[in-house]
Chains A and B, each alone.
Chain A
Amino acid sequence: MSSFLLGITIFITLLTAASLYRVAVGKTIFDRIIAAGLVGTNGFILLTLIGFIFKRIDMFVDLAIAYALLNFVIVIVLGKYFDRKTESS
């Protein structure tokens, strides 16, 4: 089971690295924002998996909760910011 979780972790890491292409070269700024949100979501899934691999799940799940809350706040705030900036100009 531990090697299975390690394989899944490496696979999701490769998916996240592929999604960083859209963060780097996304045509509009909103593409970059939703790609960054996807990288954050994959990030706390990876944190939970790493907690199971290291057998320290009681510590890593708290970090995953913090990452999930921060990811949601970051996406909402970036949406409000770019909306208002283009509306006023």
Chain B
Amino acid sequence: MLAQTIVAIILIVGGAFFLTVSSLGLLRLPDFYARTHAVGKSETLGAILTLSGLAVYNGWELSTFKILFILLFVLIANPTATHAISRAALRTGLQPWTRKKKPDSGASSPDK
């Protein structure tokens, strides 16, 4: 087996681990602001590791540079989108979860 393939497998398995962490955090964490932590950081790192593993496996072609463009775009866009949503939630009046309060009892959530 080529060394290129081994590096690609290691990177893709690492990316799948961080995507697992991200989905578990989205399902298990107590309120919205904690879930933005899972989506903003673990998802970005998982996407970057998986796409870089695929770029290493592909070799030097035009598609590799397109994959690297997606990688750089995710690196910039995913934390920006998460920050915009959490800023909108804070301006709307969603209260963060503390120890004394029940989870998801936000003050004026527009979903009700």
Q: Tell me the A residues contacting B by CB distance below 8 Å.
A: 1, 4-5, 8, 11-12, 15-16, 18-19, 21-22, 26-35, 37-38, 41-42, 44-45, 48-49, 52, 57-58, 61-62, 64-65, 68-69, 72, 75-76, 78-80, 82-83, 85-87
Contact = CB atoms under 8 A, between A and B. Distances in A.
Interface string B52-67: 0010011000110011
Query: Which interface residue of B47, B74, B85, B93 has the most chain A CB atoms within 10 A?
Result: B85
B27 A22 contact: yes
Interface of B: 5, 9, 12-13, 16, 19-20, 22-23, 26-27, 32, 35-36, 39, 43, 47, 50-51, 54, 57-58, 62-63, 66-67, 69-70, 73-74, 77-78, 80-82, 84-89, 91-94, 104, 106, 108-111
Nearest to B50: A45
Q: Is the interface of B mostly helix, strand, loop or mixed?
A: helix
26 contacts: A4-B12, A19-B27, A22-B26, A22-B35, A27-B32, A28-B32, A29-B110, A34-B26, A34-B35, A38-B22, A41-B78, A44-B70, A48-B51, A48-B67, A52-B57, A57-B58, A65-B66, A68-B73, A68-B74, A69-B73, A72-B81, A76-B84, A79-B85, A79-B87, A82-B92, A85-B110
Q: Is the interface of A mostly helix, strand, loop or mixed?
A: helix
Contacts of B104: 27-28
